[in-house]
Structure 1
Amino acid sequence: MSKWLEAATRFEERRDCSDYFEMQSALSAIAKVQTLLSGTFRQMIFLIGEPGSGKTFLLNLLHEKMEHERQVILIETPFITPLTLLYQLLRHKGIEPFGDDIEQLRQQTTQLYTQSDHLIMIDEAQLLSTEMREFIRILSDSKAFWFILAMHRSEGESILRAPHFKSRPHRIIELSSLTPIEAKNYIHRELMRMGFSEIIDELNPKLIAQAHRISEGNFRNFKKVFYHLFHLLHYTNTHNKAPYLRPSQCTITMAAMNAELIHD
């Protein structure tokens, strides 16, 4: 495997928490969540950010960090109903649900969770049905549950303007974009982990800044640029396609086009 192809594997989309790069906004988000959970006033926490800003990765990291301190439930597919949510919460406590009386099951679940340290996290919560969002609001009103709802910024802000959320106690935590300095540090860290200091030498700050501008600081898209760049350089070096054998403004642009981040 060429060094370029091997480097590309480092920037594949995956959810390995050991690969997590702690941006300042993510560090701040984790600290805020931990501070809120240390209190006694249970409320909904909304994690807001653009698609690709690292919300899913952050939820997985919180799951890993906190699973030894409290019961942590991560729901990654938001296509659930009130009944299936209650079933899942009861089974997490080792109780096999009986029947389909929503109110009876809600009271049973509320009693169980009032007495425990827990955290219920729902990813892509902007996709929850109106019925499901209202049901979570009812559960939250009981003061028995800690919820984190991760949502895309635009849809999340619209949902939070709804009266039944706006009028209830809640906290909003925002994930911001990757800064230019963080972008450079991230690329250097990943390549150093693989022992590719020679690639770092070829990626001058202007090229990394170009990739940052193209991706607009979106973490997922920034990684995509380098995933496609290194695949492109593997091809050009394998087929001796001069003058595209090294990272350059041209090859960065071509990689961004392959990633569909820019167009002709």
Structure 2
Amino acid sequence: MSNENIYTHIKDVFIDEDESLNFVNLDNSISCYNKIVLALKKPLKLILFYGKPGSGKTFLLNKIANDLKEDKSLIFFPHPFFSEATFIEALCEQIYGKKLEDINNFESFIKFYSKDFSGKDEILNNQMTVILDEAQLYPTELIEKIRLMADTRMFKFLFTIHKTENEDILAKDYFQTRIWESIELSSADVNEIIIYLQRKLSQKNYDKYLKFDKKDYECAYSFCGGNLRTLNKIMYKFYEICEYYEQYQPSKLSSDKANIMILTMAALDAGLIDA
């Protein structure tokens, strides 16, 4: 008889190592996925994709980038850039497979890149799409250069930004001016939390170890507030505690109040509530 603790493996489901392969479809994310893919096919200049932190924006972008990886006209930058030079160098590496000597600013890059096109039709037919995650962290000066790049029609950009309660990033002028289409990803509600957890575990055939009823899901939601990143942290800790009890105090797991108790312990550990 094996002494292997199943919870040792279950908790790792909530460590997101490959977000594109472990993507969980929810109503909001499916809708946004379709809107983004459709928008990327349009001859737009700038597209805005926004939502609260932890709503699943990066999950969705990784899914889109993975699904469209055969499209050589698509570039995805998951991390922000803080200078024009590093951004241009990264762009050159994506397009040409290497850094280009003396090409380290907007003007030199556009001059070099545009020499391959003879007219507007050729430019639009070869338009590159660049997806920028964490765009709220980009310096204003770099955002302005990116807008100028979009004006050439050789590139179109999808800005992905956080929408927070403390600072309405959407009110900033450079995210309002010239945005052609805006797409919002709402935070998950209780029903989507239920679907998320069930599907997340069923991907690894661990769904039978999710013994939650409605009040347990509502408890998890009250702690995470629809933030999927926070929910993953809670559930990782939840199953880590289950792992401990399974080994040392298995009777604790049979209590009717075990789920609420362990979720509360996980929330305390994450600093979401006070003792």
TM-score normalised according to structure 1 size: 0.87
- Aligned partner of 1:31: which letter? N
CA contact (8 A) 1:52 1:220 kept: yes
Distance between the aligned counterparts of 2:149 and 2:92, measured in 1? Answer: 14
TM-superposed CA distance for 1:155, in Å, is: 8.8
Q: How does 1:141-156 map to 2 (within 5 A)?
A: 141-154=151-164
Distance 1:150 1:157, change over 3 A: farther
Deviation sequence 1:216-255 (CA, Å, 0-9, x none): 1111111222111110111122121754556421111111
Distance between the aligned counterparts of 2:141 and 2:247, measured in 1? Answer: 55
Distance between the aligned counterparts of 2:109 and 2:205, measured in 1? Answer: 55
Map of 1:47 onto structure 2: 49
Distance between the aligned counterparts of 1:12 and 1:251, measured in 2? Answer: 19
Map of 2:109 onto structure 1: 105
Q: Which SS does the other structure have where 1:46 is aligned?
A: strand
Residues 1:183 and 2:174 aligned together:
no
Compare 126-135 and 138-147 and name the one that shifted more.
138-147
Q: Which SS does the other structure have where 1:120 is aligned?
A: strand
Residues 1:216 and 2:218 aligned together:
no
Q: Which SS does the other structure have where 1:168 is aligned?
A: coil
Q: How does 1:218-237 map to 2 (within 5 A)?
A: 218-237=227-246
Deviation sequence 1:52-109 (CA, Å, 0-9, x none): 1112221111111112234221222213422332233233232752325642322333
- Aligned partner of 2:176: which letter? K
Distance between the aligned counterparts of 1:263 and 1:45, measured in 2? Answer: 40
Distance 1:25 1:172, change over 3 A: same
Q: Which SS does the other structure have where 1:21 is aligned?
A: coil
TM-score normalised according to structure 2 size: 0.84
Distance between the aligned counterparts of 2:252 and 2:105, measured in 1? Answer: 69
Which of 118, 130, 133 in structure 2 is aligned with 1:123?
133
Distance between the aligned counterparts of 2:155 and 2:235, measured in 1? Answer: 41
Map of 1:135 onto structure 2: 145
Q: How does 1:1-264 map to 2 (within 5 A)?
A: 1-40=4-43, 42-94=44-96, 96-99=99-102, 100=104, 102-110=106-114, 114=123, 115-154=125-164, 158-200=168-210, 202-240=211-249, 242-243=251-252, 247-264=258-275
Task: Structure 2 unaligned segments of length 5 or more: list them.
Answer: 118-122
| Corresponding residue pairs, total | 262
Q: Which SS does the other structure have where 2:109 is aligned?
A: helix
Q: Which SS does the other structure have where 2:14 is aligned?
A: coil
Cα root mean square deviation, aligned: 2.5
Distance between the aligned counterparts of 1:85 and 1:112, measured in 2? Answer: 21
TM-superposed CA distance for 1:151, in Å, is: 1.1
Give % identity. 25
- Aligned partner of 1:28: which letter? S
Compare 171-180 and 89-98 and name the one that shifted more.
89-98
